[in-house]
Amino acid sequence: MVWVKAMHIVAILIWSAALIYLPMIMATHSVKLSEPEYLRVHAMSRTIFVVLASPAAIIAILSGTALVALRDVTEPWFAVKLAIVALMSVVHARCGIILAKQTHEAERANAGIRVMRILTPLALIPCVLWLVLAKPRIDYIDAALTPPSPLPVLQTPAFPLASPPPTPGASPAPTAEYPRGIWSTQGRKVA
C-alpha cells in the first residue's frame, strides 16, 4: 500500500504542475510570434500535455482508485474531493481541446478567459490538498447520507384498552355469556 500511495502522490504532483503550467504556456501563443517561435511553443505545450500531464492524470486516478479499495474510505469529505478531482479532469480535457484546435492564425481567447484558465487549477489543487490533509467533518453531507430515524414509539397508549387485545389465532376468553367450546371465534354456535 505504501508504493501505491507514493505513486499516487508523485502522479498528483506531476499532474498538478502540468495543469498549472499548461494554461500559462498556452496564454503565450500569440499572432505576434514568428512561425518558428510559435511551432516551438506549441510543440512544447503538446509535449507537456501528451508526455507528462495525461499519463500522470491516468496514474493518479488509477492509483487513487486502488487506494480507495485498499483503505475503504467512505467519509463525506472524500465525496467532495472526488468532485474537485472531476473538475481537475475537466480542466485537463479542456487544455487538450484547446491544444488540438489551436493554430498560429486561430483567434485567441481574451485576457479574462486566459486568466480564468490559469486561476482555475490554482484554486482546485489547494482545495484537494486541504481536504486530504484536514479530512474535515462535513455535517450537512453526513445528515443527508444517514438514514432517517424510525418514528418514536408511544410509551403509553393514547386510548387505554379495557382488556388486552386478543392474540391472533386464539379463541376469545370464556365469559358467563359464552362458555369455552360452545362458540367459534367467528361467533357461530359449534355444538
**Domain assignment present for 14:** yes
Is pLDDT of 191 > 70? no
Give residue 89's pLDDT band: very low, low, confident or very high (50, 70, 90): very high
Query: Is residue 107 situated within a structural domain?
Result: yes
Q: What is the pLDDT of residue 69?
A: 86
**High-pLDDT (> 70) share of the chain, %:** 70
How many domains would you assign to the chain? 1
Q: Looking at residue 92, what is its pLDDT?
A: 94
Range(s) of the domain holding residue 51: 2-145
pTM of the model: 0.66
Q: Is residue 17 part of a domain?
A: yes
Is 165 inside a domain boundary? no
State the residue for C-alpha cell 482555475: 120
Q: Is residue 166 domain-resident? A: no
Is 161 part of any domain?
A: no
